[in-house]
């Protein structure tokens, strides 16, 4: 027992008034605290507590008072880039993980830095650095230990008071290009983590639970079966193998658990939201068909042993990069007079699911967005009713939703007061085409991305093709209760409070509060840069605060990006990232973070694009560069827009960055296998793209044909 807790216990035992310092260490963050929905002082876990509702019982900031919100403090984060994370607050101390999982503890009332820990993710990844996303969605807290994870696959336990490392463990195979961008989940003295990486090489998804005190592995569960010749890890793998055909293990199979993990205290079970297939195209990975368990499912595991309990598969035979990796919210619902312990889930595929989580039985499934791959879900069999041709067997198909999903990892929230779910919804199709099915050619385990599908639209997203909104969804009636239109797509996650206020930030840089019952906008502030993270709320000394990390990022920005997002001007390093904290009647001025900068593509008048070279460059781009610099060579702001970069004027400078690794400290990987001819081809592609202006045909969602005349 440390000095502070001893002082606190003594004070409690003697009924002495608690001093501020003693009160600060009062909360033991364990299963009891994480099950307590009534306390509003702390934000103890990713979704606030075990229930993942992102609902706070605090009411000081409410539908009447919210207009008095102002800036209490801000913390500039000049070295950070994309900030997607949910901070935690324990007894007045805020913990958050920033870019490259640099983790900080700050005084939640003032923003004063208490400690900072840098896991040196780029250095640790070394030449394994390929998926150079700096994104990280959060951390876990358990009894004085903070647990973080890194892009290079480590799980690291820190002393919450000092930031000193208690243990560190590699959770992934370092020879694979898998990564962690998600958050760990703490429960019953264990911490659970999965990983991402299905797009970047043969990958077999699994989750691992470690003891928080020692860092020792407690259990591991695989999402998809391996090669049957090697034997199965457990009976669930044998069961799953019956739903696969061909030699799927050569492609890994996928199913990686990269986001949605919920601990359900009432059934002592873990609910996993599993990922898409590796590669996306089922024809390649499982040529004889099959449901391909446990891709794209909610899987319940015994929390102590990791043993399979039940599953519900949202997309049998996944082939569109749909996954069920979105958050899984626990709620008590009254459905037709029956009390149900429900799990609520709105995955990419556009259906909203209500499951009885005691047994995994499907209770409801209805479209909450535009969906054309299925007409509905048969509640008797639990299976979607697929539309003929949706699997693009007969040529190109435009499928709604596309791979970015009708709802992605941006968290939804649930208010027990309204009984509604607040979902950041998006509508964005993709063209799928496999008339010439390419077999996977992962030239080296680290080289790049291949999905075995020819894609359109889902990549370089033209302005106006996507739409999005914040919706209030009644999970019992399966009905949209209100909708607020949002710009483009990739708007941030939500939070709702007992003051009946829903908070959400968006790509326009607006952070806003809405009436939970009507959707009326009650308050907003312009934070000067695109928002990708969800807010949190907490209370210190009787005052309620709302905090938000601001740093545009995630796959929608880095991979898709496109003209739709680039026009906002959240260019690479153009605005200083921030942690903002708001409170009623706080009056600090908003900081100047930097003006919007829309890149101006460089088109040298004397450069003639060779179409053959440009085509070769495009293939290289799609394999290696697209992940950060954006589809169509249009950066969403995650990395420099290379159409506007002077680097292509100097082959030596280009080589020193791409092959020589000059920008490795910034997260730009070294591609030692790129030849001078490759670099030349890339130059022709980027120059070609610099001269293309993609716009939307007036009054339609059709992209206009490329116009080579103009430069934006």
Report the nearest approach of Ca ion to the CB of residue 318 (Å).
10
3-state helix, strand, coil in the chain (%, to 5): 15, 30, 50
Closest CA to 115 of 94, 88, 134: 94
Report the nearest approach of Ca ion to the CB of residue 442 (Å).
16
**Which of 134, 264, 321, 450 is an active site residue?**
321
Report the nearest approach of Ca ion to the CB of residue 323 (Å).
6
CA distance 55 to 504: 13
- Between residues 97 and 276, which has the closer beta carbon with respect to Ca ion? 276
Of residues 645-684, which lie at the interface with Ca ion (CB under 5 A)?
Answer: none
- Between residues 321 and 460, which has the closer beta carbon with respect to Ca ion? 321
Q: Residue 632: helix, strand or coil by DSSP?
A: helix
C-alpha torsion 506→512→515→517, nearest 10: 10
- Helices 676-690 & 651-658 angle (0-180, nearest 10): 110
Count of residues of this chain found to bind Ca ion when the rule CB under 5 A is applied = 2
- Between residues 95 and 133, which has the closer beta carbon with respect to Ca ion? 133
Look-up of token digits 């979607």:
384
Q: Residue 549: helix, strand or coil by DSSP?
A: strand
Report the nearest approach of Ca ion to the CB of residue 282 (Å).
14
By the 8 A CB rule, do 315 and 295 touch?
yes
| CB neighbour list of residue 70: distance below 8 Å, 6 or more residues apart | 582, 583, 584, 585, 586, 587, 588
C-alpha torsion 688→689→695→700, nearest 10: 90
CA angle 93, 98, 102 (to 5 degrees): 85
Provide the greatest CA pair distance for the chain. 84
By the 8 A CB rule, do 433 and 413 touch?
no
- Between residues 321 and 397, which has the closer beta carbon with respect to Ca ion? 321
Question: Among the residues of 465-584, which ranges form H helices?
Answer: 555, 562-566
Beta bridge partners of 618: none
Q: Beta strands 206-211 and 190-193: pairing type?
A: antiparallel
- Between residues 321 and 327, which has the closer beta carbon with respect to Ca ion? 321
| CB neighbour list of residue 47: distance below 8 Å, 6 or more residues apart | 53, 54, 86, 262, 327, 329, 411
CA 553 to chain centre: 9
Structure tokens of 1?
């027992």
| CB neighbour list of residue 669: distance below 8 Å, 6 or more residues apart | 127, 129, 130, 132, 661
Report the nearest approach of Ca ion to the CB of residue 709 (Å).
36
The yes-or-no answer on residue 434 being catalytic is no
Beta bridge partners of 540: 543
Report the nearest approach of Ca ion to the CB of residue 275 (Å).
6
Report the nearest approach of Ca ion to the CB of residue 452 (Å).
13
Q: Beta strands 536-540 and 430-433: pairing type?
A: unpaired
- Between residues 181 and 694, which has the closer beta carbon with respect to Ca ion? 181
- Between residues 291 and 321, which has the closer beta carbon with respect to Ca ion? 321
CA 209 to chain centre: 21
- Between residues 98 and 405, which has the closer beta carbon with respect to Ca ion? 405
Report the nearest approach of Ca ion to the CB of residue 427 (Å).
19
CA angle 644, 645, 647 (to 5 degrees): 150
Look-up of token digits 């990269």:
258
What does the per-residue mask of binding to Ca ion show for 253-282, with x meaning CB under 5 A? -----------------------x------
What does the per-residue mask of binding to Ca ion show for 338-367, with x meaning CB under 5 A? ------------------------------
CA 582 to chain centre: 24
Report the nearest approach of Ca ion to the CB of residue 295 (Å).
11
Report the chain's terminal Cα–Cα distance, integer Å: 63
Q: Beta strands 103-107 and 93-97: pairing type?
A: antiparallel
What does the per-residue mask of binding to Ca ion show for 313-342, with x meaning CB under 5 A? --------x---------------------
- Between residues 408 and 571, which has the closer beta carbon with respect to Ca ion? 408
- Between residues 254 and 601, which has the closer beta carbon with respect to Ca ion? 254
Report the nearest approach of Ca ion to the CB of residue 198 (Å).
5
Catalytic sites, residue numbers: 321
Binding site for Ca ion (CB under 5 A): 276, 321
């Amino acid at each position: 027992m440390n000095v502070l807790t001893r002082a606190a216990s003594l004070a409690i035992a003697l009924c002495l008034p608690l001093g501020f310092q003693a009160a600060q260490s009062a909360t033991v963050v364990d299963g009891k605290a994480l099950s307590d929905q009534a306390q509003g002082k702390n934000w103890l876990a990713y979704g606030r507590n075990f229930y993942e509702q992102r609902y706070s019982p605090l009411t000081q900031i409410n539908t009447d008072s919210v207009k008095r919100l102002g800036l209490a403090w801000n913390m500039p984060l000049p070295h950070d880039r994309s900030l997607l994370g949910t901070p935690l607050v324990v007894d007045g101390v805020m913990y958050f993980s920033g870019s490259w999982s640099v983790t900080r503890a700050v005084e939640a009332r003032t923003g004063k830095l208490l400690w900072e820990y840098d896991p040196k993710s780029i250095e640790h990844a070394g030449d394994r650095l390929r998926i150079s996303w700096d994104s990280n969605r959060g951390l876990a807290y358990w009894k004085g230990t903070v647990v973080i994870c890194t892009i290079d696959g480590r799980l690291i336990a820190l002393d919450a008071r000092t930031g000193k490392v208690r243990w560190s463990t590699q959770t992934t195979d370092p020879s694979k290009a898998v990564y962690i961008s998600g958050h760990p989940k703490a429960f019953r003295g264990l911490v659970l983590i999965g990983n991402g990486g299905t797009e970047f090489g043969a990958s077999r998804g699994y989750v691992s639970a470690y003891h928080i005190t020692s860092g020792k592995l407690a259990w591991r569960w695989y999402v998809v079966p391996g090669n049957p010749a090697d034997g199965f890890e457990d009976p669930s793998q044998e069961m799953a193998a019956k739903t696969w055909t061909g030699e799927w293990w050569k492609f890994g199979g996928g199913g990686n658990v990269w986001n949605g993990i919920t601990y359900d205290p009432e059934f002592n079970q873990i609910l996993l939201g599993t990922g898409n297939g590796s590669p996306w195209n089922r024809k390649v990975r499982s040529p004889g068909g099959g449901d391909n368990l446990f891709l794209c499912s909610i899987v319940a595991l015994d929390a102590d042993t990791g043993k399979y309990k039940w599953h519900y598969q949202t997309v049998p035979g996944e082939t569109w990069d749909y996954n069920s990796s979105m958050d899984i919210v626990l709620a008590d619902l009254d459905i037709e007079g029956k009390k149900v312990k429900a799990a609520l889930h709105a995955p990419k595929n556009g259906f909203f699911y209500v499951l009885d989580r005691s047994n995994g039985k499907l209770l409801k499934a209805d479209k909450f967005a535009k969906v054309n791959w299925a007409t509905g879900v048969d509640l008797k069999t639990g299976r979607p009713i697929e539309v003929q041709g949706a699997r693009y067997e007969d040529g190109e198909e435009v499928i709604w939703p596309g791979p970015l999903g009708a709802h992605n990892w941006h968290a939804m929230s649930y208010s027990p007061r309204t009984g509604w779910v607040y979902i950041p919804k998006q509508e964005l199709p993709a063209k799928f085409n496999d008339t010439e099915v390419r077999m996977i050619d992962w030239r080296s385990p680290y080289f790049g991305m291949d999905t075995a599908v020819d894609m359109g639209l889902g990549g370089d997203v033209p302005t106006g093709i996507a739409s999005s909104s914040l919706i209030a969804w009644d999970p019992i009636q399966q009905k949209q209760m209100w909708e607020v239109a949002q710009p483009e797509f990739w708007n941030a996650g939500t939070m709702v409070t007992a003051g009946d206020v829903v908070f959400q930030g968006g790509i326009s840089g607006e952070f806003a509060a809405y009436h939970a019952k009507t959707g009326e906008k009650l308050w907003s502030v312009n934070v000067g840069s695109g928002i990708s993270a969800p807010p949190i709320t907490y209370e210190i000394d009787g005052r309620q605060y709302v905090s938000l990390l601001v740093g545009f990022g995630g796959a929608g920005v880095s991979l898709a990006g496109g003209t739709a997002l680039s026009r906002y001007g959240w260019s690479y390093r153009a605005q200083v990232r921030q942690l903002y904290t708001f409170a009623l009647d706080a009056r600090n001025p908003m900081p100047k973070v930097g003006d919007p900068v829309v890149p101006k593509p460089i088109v040298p008048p004397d450069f003639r694009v060779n179409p053959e070279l440009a085509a070769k460059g495009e293939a290289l781009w799609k394999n290696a560069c697209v992940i950060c610099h954006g589809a169509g060579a249009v950066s969403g702001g995650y990395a420099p827009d290379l159409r506007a970069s002077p680097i292509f004027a100097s082959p030596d400078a280009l080589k020193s960055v791409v092959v020589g690794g000059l920008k490795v400290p910034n997260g730009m990987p070294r591609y030692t296998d790129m030849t001078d001819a490759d670099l030349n081809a890339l130059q022709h592609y980027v120059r070609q793209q610099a001269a293309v202006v993609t716009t939307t045909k007036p009054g339609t969602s059709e992209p206009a044909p490329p116009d080579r005349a103009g430069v934006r």
